[in-house]
Structure 1
Amino acid sequence: MSWSRGRLWAAFMVALLAQLGLIFWLSERKSIVPRRSDSTTTFYLLADAPPGSPVTELLEIEDPTLFALPHPRVFSGQAWMAAPPLRHHSQDWTEPIRWLSLPVAELGATFAEFVCTNLVGPRLLADKPAPRLSEVAVSPVPMPAKSTFRIEGDLAGRELLTPLEVPAIQHTDVLTNTVIQVCVAQPGFTFSPVVIRSSGSKEADQKAYDLVKTARFKPVARTDSTASRNPSALTWGKIIFQWHTLEMPATNGAVARPSP
């Protein structure tokens, strides 16, 4: 016979209530207490573990480089890592003195044999006499009797109107040349003389400086194209003074000794 929908729902509810009752009846009614673990995780610090202990062997087994790299526990340790140190055992030994034999009677025998077996004859010279060397007459270079000067650079093309009388300088040593750089304007006057090389004497350098300041060159003609375009053009050059050095006079004369 077929059940109606109401009876089916009633049977379903009865079965559900019966299951809930069994669960409630069979369940424990004590309060839930958190369960304590019997063992906890413990960390130990291993420092200087004794060799041969189980802990050391366990650590060495777990090392992934045990069989890839040299290690005292594998073949490399017994082959070359545990090699005994080399020890040198020196032994003191002596040998009797063995003097070189040198008979006195044979001294010079080797040289005498060389002289006897190697005879040297007289040298044979050519009959033709050697050519005579030509003599080259060299005139002595005259020593300068006075100081001189010369002009170099673009200024050498300008004519000097006032001659420079360069005197001789008294000094204890030979002086080198004094080189002065100077520029000359169109009218012929000098400007900005500078001593670019000293002779070693301040007196000589100052004398050369004063002579350059008083020097007068020939003015540039107006017909010159360069001068007409640039009236303020300067001509640069160097004046080199070659000094004639005189001996310094004696400051202390000889003192005459009184007659006894």
Structure 2
Amino acid sequence: MKSAHDLSGLMKYMGRAPWDEMMDEMLFAHLGPACEATDLEPDDIFDVIGDHWQGQLWGCAFEDLLTQELEPEGLNLVDDYLKRRGWNEKAPNKAYMRALRDTVMSLYEVSEVIPGHSMTLRDLLRDIAPVTVREHSATQTLVNWDKIAARVVDVNGRHGISGALLPFSADGAGRVIEAFSQLENDGPGTGRLSPSERDGLLKASGPIFTNIWLLDSLGKAMPGSVPEMVNADGDDLVFHRIVFPWRRA
């Protein structure tokens, strides 16, 4: 029997067009800038930071894809899957998929860790109240004041985190905060972003977390050999919002 967090059917469905191509593009967005900045191929990067991170970074890209919409119709992978295959999923699993669809990745400070049970997360990029999440695995290794990038999933008022979690060093977390501050300052408006605008920015900026995390991890594994957020030509590394065009068969 499938658990309430089993996404295997959704992952299999992603192999169909147009989602297979969209996933390839999303993976490139999550890994490409770091590869360009270091002049390394993905396999080379994982040789340095450890093969065990491949699944986690794939998960970051996959979960990011679940939140996006194809232009111009606004088709979403979760909605498409549940419309065509939802009959094969139990109600709790469908509720979890819909909740995951509506998440954004953000940067959190961890506190009040109860190993194997729960932790409290304070959002460092949004002015919202801290939230206590139920979590078994991550609370075995995280400690108070750790910084993580994660997606808080709210299923009928019960909060947890998704499977894709990245632990940030203090330096890496600072770079994330600086990157989003620059994005906000470079936006079309002159004032602070509204809560909905900030959520929209986070929704469109998932690859920033993975690329900054990769560069920070590579820099610690290879001191002095990784440039600071620039590409192989020495130009500033620029992140772009991803908008997937709709491709008709």
Both proteins in one fold, TM over 0.5: no
Q: Does 1 or 2 have the higher relative contact order (CA < 8 Å, sep 6+)?
A: 2
Name which one, 1 or 2, has greater alpha-carbon Rg. 1
Normalised by the length of structure 1, the TM-score is: 0.23
